[in-house]
Structure formats: C-alpha cells, structure tokens
Structure 1
Amino acid sequence: MTLPSSYFEDMYAAAADPWSFTTRWYERRKRALTMAALPNPRYRSAFEPGCSIGTLTEQLVTRCDRVLASDPIAKALDAAAVRLDAARDRVELRRWSLGDDWPAARFDLIVFSEVCYYLDADTLRTVTQQAVAHLEPGGTLLVVHWRHPVPDYPLTGDEVHDIVSADPGVVRMSAYQDEDMRLEVFTTSHPEPRSVARRGGLL
C-alpha cells in the first residue's frame, strides 16, 4: 500500500529536514551525480515530484528554463519557497503527490529522486506510464533511489528501478550503481536515443 500523507506530515513535524538533505555527504554526492548524469546541457521544462525542501530543485533550476516542483506536505513546500526565492520566476511549487492527476503539460525532463519507493508496485507502474505520456519525444526520465531496505517503504530502491525499466515506453541511456544508491537515465523509446557524443557531433 502506498504510504499516506500522514506519514510525511509526522516526519516534518519532528524535523525541518527529516532526511538531512542539507548536511549528509550521501545527499550532496547524490545530487552531484544526478546533475552530472543529465545528458542534455539545458532543459526547457522539468518536473520534480517529491521535491521536499528544494535542495535538488535548487540545482535543477541552474539547468532548466522552468521547473515544476511538487510535494504533498505544505511545510516542505514552505521551506522550498524560502530556498528558491531567488529563482521564483522560473520555479513553480505545487502541492501534489504521485498518484494524483498529472499536470496538463509535457516536459523534456522528469526526475524521480528518492520518491517512488513510497508507492506500491501497481501504483508505480501507472505512474511510470503517466511519466512517459508526459515526456516530450526524446525527453529524459532520471530515476535515483537509496538501495537499502526501509521497513516502512512498500518497495526497495532496486524494485523501483526494475519496475520503471520494464516499461516498454522507455529506453535506458545510462546507469550508475553502488552499495547505497542506484541511478538510471531513461529516454522515451521514440525517437531512437542517441548518445551525448553523437548528439554533439563527436561521432
């Protein structure tokens, strides 16, 4: 069963930064790897569900013309608004969670960072299909998750990535994995994906 909003409300009631996004080296390193894995130097419109307090959003906005960032928890969005104040003309913060009706827009970048293992498997399959439907042709879907089991979570990080990669609408472009995290970059299956070097005219 997908975790309810009350689970996250309790987390933010106990701490302003419940997962220590701002202080842990794991989190800072993961954001650096995430940004380095993006195959395009620039994106027109990005969507980041589960943005929390906006630490990754703050970096995405340096590579994107527009970012829609969402979270179901008002306290998290309030903290994100403070963090992203200097970029408020390019960032829209919205109270929204995976499983809700998707925005009436298409994106060339969608980022699922540490958010999909809160869903059950059937919901994640639907969410992946929705992501593919809202990606522009050749758009990027970046998926990154913690790999160690968490008893409260319906899925492990590896289960999340196995489900997403099984969707026929995506093709894997690149991947990184260590004991702690798994990061994969997918694109839509049409048009046929081309590598960074090929798109840059090096091959």
Structure 2
Amino acid sequence: MTDLRSERAAVFDDLHTKNADPWDFETSAYEAKKREATIAALGGRHFGNGLEIGCSIGVLTQDLSTICDELVAVDVSAVALEKARQRLGRGNKITFRQAEIPGAWPEGRYDLIVLSEVLYFLSIEEIEETSCLAQRDLNPGGLCLLVNWDGPTDLPVDGRLAARTFRAACPWTVVFKEDEPCYRIELLRPVIDAR
C-alpha cells in the first residue's frame, strides 16, 4: 500500500508540474459554475471548522474559506499545495497539509468535510475507509459534501460508484442532491444526527 500511495503522490506532482492548472479551475466556465453550485448546496450556512480533501491549487479552497472560520486544505501533491499557498497566502485561517487519504487522514473535529472530485482516484476499500473516517470526525450537526464527475473515466472507479460506495460504507442521510449533466453534488449527514 505504501508504494501505491507514493506512486499516486508522484503522479499528481508530475501532473501539476507539467500544467499549472491541470483541470482549468481558473479559466473554465464549467468549473466556475460547478464551484457556485457546490457553495450553493451548503444553503448559506457558516461553519466553524472545515476540511477539504483534494484541494489541488486552492480555487475551491478560496470559496470555502469565506464560509469557514478555520479550514484544513489537504492534497497528496506538494506541487499543488505550493500553488494553493501562493494563491491564498499563509494566513491563520487556512492550514495546508500534504497527506494521502485515508492512510494519513488529518485528525480533528469538523463541521464540514468536502470531497470534491477526489473519491474516484481511490480504491473501493479506500473510499469505504474515508467514509467512516469522515463520519467519525464530524461534529454533531456536521455535514459532508461530495462532488463527483458523472461521466466515464479511465479509472477503476467512476463517480457514481465512488459516491454509492461512500454512502454505503457508513450510515449517511442525503440531505441535498443535485444532478447536473456532468456532475453530481450530494450533501450528507450521519444517520445518527438525523434523529
């Protein structure tokens, strides 16, 4: 497992070295619309402590920082994290951390956990573990936001399977869902909080 994780970090470092914005987060109208929908799915709520897994170069991180008092932004790529730091500075509000989930899950308690366009890069077993870690570390009343590409991928797990696996691994209630032609947004709450 360690070799796989090291390889994954190297792949994403290489991707971000070759292209400053590999998914066109800064320039794509599609990405801008998806970010707006992602923030809108949170219904105007404000959060004390947020966790973003897979922050890449920090474009969504910037939006999340406006609705979180404190935000931990995590990525497997050191290169991507340096770009995020350059974009957002090194203030007290955002803590950047290089880690590969689920093995190096950032310990803490969170009111919001965001996994945007990241789950399908994991194996089924890693998605299941990530789901349980997210649920474990949510504060009472906390929310978990999933955003997944809904089209085909060249990966073993696609967005639909990733989301279904995540929801099935631990008991979650879907409190909001938006299906767009190319992506799906799901806002989840642990079932225990739904009583």
TM over 0.5, yes or no? Answer: yes
Q: Which amino acid aligns with 1:120?
A: S
**Which of 78, 82, 88 is matched with 2:82 structurally?**
78
Paired position in structure 2 for 1:177: 179
RMSD over aligned Cα atoms: 1.7
Q: Determine the C-alpha separation between the residues in 2 that align with 1:34 and 1:20.
A: 17
Provide closer, same or farther for how the CA distance between residues 134 and 70 of structure 1 changes in structure 2, counting only shifts above 3 A.
same
- List aligned pairs for 1:19-38, cutoff 5 A: 19-38=23-42
The whole-number CA distance in structure 2 between the counterparts of 1:191 and 1:144 is 21
Matches within 5 A, 1:15-164: 15-39=19-43, 41-85=45-89, 88-151=91-154, 153-164=155-166
Q: Which runs of 5+ in 1 are unaligned?
A: 194-203
CA distance in 1, matches of 2:66, 2:149: 24
CA distance in 1, matches of 2:32, 2:103: 29
User: Alpha-carbon deviations, 1:85-136, whole Å to 9, x = none?
Assistant: 2x72200001112122322311010000000100011111111111101111
SS where residue 79 of structure 1 aligns? helix
User: What's the CA shift for 1:160?
Assistant: 1.0
The amino acid of 2:183's aligned partner reads: M
The Cα offsets for residues 46-77 of structure 1, whole Å up to 9 and x where unpaired, read as: 00011000000100010000000011111111
The CA distance in 1 between the partners of 2:158 and 2:130, in whole Å, is 16
Write the letter of the residue equivalent to 1:42. H
* Residue aligning to 1:201: none
Please name the residue that 1:197 is paired with. Answer: none
Give the Cα separation in 2 of the matches to 1:72 and 1:122: 18
| TM-score, scaled to structure 1 | 0.89
Percent of counterpart pairs with the same letter? 33
Q: Which amino acid aligns with 1:122?
A: E
Structure 1's 53 and 157: CA in aligned 2 closer, same or farther, altered over 3 A?
A: same
TM-score by length of 2: 0.92
**Partner Cα distance (2:102, 2:170) in 1:** 20
